[in-house]
Amino acid sequence: MFPNIGWTHIDLISLDTELTEPHILIAFPWETVQVDFFLIERITCCDENKENDRRRLAFLQIFMPLMGYRHMENIGQPVLIDDVYARSDLVV
């Protein structure tokens, strides 16, 4: 989508897509669009979501560094946490 409209650089993408964030990240056009920061929501409160959250966290911890991003911090409440990732070359 982004390359189709001519975007090659995005400052921030916030992903909150109800458990489909890994699928979106896998399909993202990494070769043609540069993103400075990602904000990715995780739900940590409910028993029915704990296993999904563990899987998504494990995915993010492996996938985002492979794509050149570093985890900066978690922000939010204990129930809803947003993981902040920055492009590694932006981090001192």
* Contact by Cβ (8 Å): 90, 81: no
Q: What is the pLDDT of residues 2-27, one digit of tens each?
A: 556 778 899 999 998 877 888 899 99
Whole-number Å distance between alpha carbons of 60 and 28: 14
52 sits in the region (left: phi over 0; alpha: psi -120 to 50; else beta) called alpha
Q: Give the number of domains in the chain.
A: 1
Q: In what side-by-side order are the strands of the sheet with 9-15? A: 9-15, 34-43, 80-87, 69-76
Q: What is the pLDDT of residues 20-60, one digit of tens each?
A: 888 899 999 999 999 999 999 876 666 666 777 788 888 99
The CATH number of the domain holding residue 59 is 3.40.50.150
Its domain, for residue 28, covers 3-90
